[in-house]
Amino acid sequence: MRQTDAQESVRYFERTSEKDRIVYKFDSTYIYIFAIGGHYDSSES
């Protein structure tokens, strides 16, 4: 789990594959999903 600090909000990301990741944060009640999928330019091979 890697952590990024964006002003007041702490977000985490996990790699799901070489090119894909999930960006999320959580509290005691919910998990908030911000992005699922590609992070890099799709023109890369």
CA dist 26 and 3 (Å) reads 12
For the stretch 3-45, pLDDT in tens is 555 455 678 888 888 888 998 998 889 999 988 887 655 555 4
At a CB cut-off of 8 Å and minimum separation 6, what does 43 contact? none
Which among 39, 1, 2 has a CA at the least distance from the CA of 21? 39
CA dist 7 and 15 (Å) reads 23
Q: Domain-by-domain residue ranges, the chain?
A: 2-38
- pLDDT confidence of residue 19: 85
